[in-house]
């Protein structure tokens, strides 16, 4: 009975895909401490590989092409660090000085709310105790955040050091390593495996280029919008909006929080800003969904919204923010793999490329 079931292409495709996905998941768990630099290097590899091909086609040797690309990359990284990072640090420290104001504001509101509640219901709430416990929680959260930030800073420094090195070796040796690994695939499935690999690679490369472009456009529009509103730290929040937009559905909502926090922390409440921030985010979303997604992203990702949402929750719970960013490309790869295996195992019917 089980043997007969296993002869069905759909079950075999499902079983093989599940096995590969679980293996990939296990690898990600094992390499969790260095997962960020490895993935960032993969992203850079995918983005820079066509440029390398272009340089080789002009007449540069392989090594010279790689070195030229990496020199340009490191120069861009250092220049942007020199130009943007001090500005971001200034804006972050400003945010830090404003946080006590926000707490005070919350305290005042809470007092007002409890007073009103007491007036209308006739019952008194112990707002002082609630506030004290909330504050102590907030204090410990703050300490944790600072400690986490220190670790994050260390990890970022490590990543910045590792990324160019890993990218160099990937550009130089990845194809040979990949060929060796693919050599372990049995003769029967080797052609199909290569087709699936190339299809996934092409689709992910297209997706990556698309989201990079999308993120840049959204960051520019959001920064311009925030600047027009007169919001402090407009650059920081604009960049954050572009980055958070990579997380479907949840990202735009998350990008509302930081500018709101800053507006609420100012000594006098600015209602224009409070109304303007959601308008900017809404405008960004309209532009994104009407113009950017249909032209840049839609062709590369074709997943059901529910699958996307569940994927974001599962990946987010397992790998944090990075997992949320990874959810869509990982699920796209899984889908292509399953479809490719299914069409390959069916042995008849339409071809794989036109179906995916």
Partner 1 sequence: MTTANTSSIWGTLFRKPVAWHQQVASKWAKTPFFSGIPLKEIEKLSKNMHLRTFQADEYIFHNGDQGAGAAIILSGEIEIRVKKTVLAQLSEGDFFGEVSLVLDERRTADAIALTNCELAFFLRPELEEWTQRVPHHASKLTTNLARVLAHRLLHANQLLAQRRSR
Rounded least distance, CB 81 to partner 1, Å: 32
Q: Closest CB to partner 1 among 174 and 321?
A: 174
183, 193 Cβ separation under 8 angstroms: no
CA pair distance 127, 105, nearest whole angstrom = 15
Q: Whole-angstrom distance between the N-terminal and C-terminal Cα of the chain?
A: 31
CA angle 179, 182, 187 (to 5 degrees): 125
Among 183, 184, 267, 271, binds partner 1 (CB under 8 A): 183
Under rule CB under 8 A, which residues in 223-252 are in contact with partner 1? none
Among 75, 80, 145, 179, binds partner 1 (CB under 8 A): 179
Q: Is 180 exposed, middle or buried (0-12, 13-18, 19+ CB in 10 A)?
A: exposed
Show the 3-state SS of 173-206. HHHHHHHHHHCCCCHHHHHHHHHHHHHHHHHHHH
Q: Closest CB to partner 1 among 51 and 235?
A: 51
Rounded least distance, CB 354 to partner 1, Å: 7
CA pair distance 157, 90, nearest whole angstrom = 19
Rounded least distance, CB 340 to partner 1, Å: 8
Under rule CB under 8 A, which residues in 80-99 are in contact with partner 1? none
102, 261 Cβ separation under 8 angstroms: yes
255, 245 Cβ separation under 8 angstroms: yes
Under rule CB under 8 A, which residues in 296-325 are in contact with partner 1? none
Q: Does 54 bind partner 1 (CB under 8 A)?
A: yes
Show the 3-state SS of 236-254. HHHHHHHHHCCCCCHHHHH
336, 356 Cβ separation under 8 angstroms: yes
Q: Does 107 bind partner 1 (CB under 8 A)?
A: no
218, 293 Cβ separation under 8 angstroms: no
Q: Sketch the per residue contact string, 13 through 52, with partner 1: x for CB under 8 A, - otherwise.
A: -------------------------------------x--
Q: Closest CB to partner 1 among 114 and 356?
A: 356
Q: Does 136 bind partner 1 (CB under 8 A)?
A: no
Q: Closest CB to partner 1 among 81 and 177?
A: 177
288, 350 Cβ separation under 8 angstroms: no
Question: Please, which residues have CB within 8 angstroms of residue 81's CB and are 6 or more apart in sequence?
Answer: none
Q: Closest CB to partner 1 among 141 and 194?
A: 194
Q: Closest CB to partner 1 among 50 and 278?
A: 50
Q: Does 173 bind partner 1 (CB under 8 A)?
A: no
Q: Scan for tokens 């719970």, then name that residue.
A: 317
Rounded to whole angstroms, what are the CA distances from 23 to 6, 19, 26, 114?
Answer: 21, 6, 5, 54
Rounded least distance, CB 187 to partner 1, Å: 6
Rounded least distance, CB 40 to partner 1, Å: 23
Eight-class DSSP state of 7 = T
Rounded least distance, CB 295 to partner 1, Å: 23
Q: Sketch the per residue contact string, 191 through 210, with partner 1: x for CB under 8 A, - otherwise.
A: xx-xx--x------------
Q: Closest CB to partner 1 among 98 and 199?
A: 199
241, 255 Cβ separation under 8 angstroms: yes
Q: Sketch the per residue contact string, 324 through 353, with partner 1: x for CB under 8 A, - otherwise.
A: -------------------xx--xx--xxx
Rounded least distance, CB 341 to partner 1, Å: 10
Q: Closest CB to partner 1 among 59 and 305?
A: 59
Which chain residues interact with partner 1 by CB under 8 A? 50, 53-54, 56-57, 175-176, 179, 182-183, 187-188, 190-192, 194-195, 198, 343-344, 347-348, 351-354
């Amino acid at each position: 009975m089980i043997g007969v079931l296993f002869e069905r292409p759909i079950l075999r495709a499902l079983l093989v895909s599940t096995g590969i996905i679980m293996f990939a998941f296990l690898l990600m768990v094992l390499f969790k401490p260095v997962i960020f630099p490895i993935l960032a290097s993969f992203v850079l590899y995918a983005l820079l590989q066509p440029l390398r091909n272009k340089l080789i086609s002009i007449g540069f040797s392989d090594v010279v092409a790689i070195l030229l690309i990496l020199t340009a990359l490191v120069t861009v990284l250092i220049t942007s660090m020199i130009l943007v990072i001090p500005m971001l640090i200034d804006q972050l420290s400003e945010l830090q000085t404003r946080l006590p104001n926000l707490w005070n504001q919350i305290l005042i509101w809470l007092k007002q709310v409890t007073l009103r509640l007491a007036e209308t219901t006739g019952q008194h709430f112990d707002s002082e105790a609630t506030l004290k416990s909330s504050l102590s929680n907030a204090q410990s959260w703050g300490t944790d955040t600072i400690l986490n930030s220190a670790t994050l800073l260390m990890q970022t420094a490590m990543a910045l050091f590792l990324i160019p090195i890993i990218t160099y070796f990937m550009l130089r040796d990845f194809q040979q390593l990949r060929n060796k690994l693919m050599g372990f695939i049995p003769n029967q499935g080797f052609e199909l495996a290569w087709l699936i690999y190339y299809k996934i690679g092409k689709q992910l490369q297209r997706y990556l280029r698309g989201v990079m472009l999308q993120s840049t456009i959204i960051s520019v529009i959001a920064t311009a919008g925030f600047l027009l509103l007169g919001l402090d730290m407009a650059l920081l929040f604009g960049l954050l909006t572009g980055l958070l937009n990579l997380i479907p559905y949840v990202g735009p909502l998350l990008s509302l929080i930081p500018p709101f926090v800053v507006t609420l922390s100012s000594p006098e409440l600015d209602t224009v800003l409070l109304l303007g921030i959601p308008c900017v985010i809404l405008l960004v979303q309209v532009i994104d969904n009407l113009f950017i997604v249909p032209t840049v992203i839609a062709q590369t990702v074709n997943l059901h919204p529910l699958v996307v949402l569940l994927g974001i929750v599962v990946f987010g719970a397992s790998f944090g923010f990075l997992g949320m960013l990874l959810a869509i490309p990982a699920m796209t790869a899984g889908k292509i793999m399953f479809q490719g295996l299914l069409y390959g195992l069916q042995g008849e019917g339409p071809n794989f490329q036109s179906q995916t």
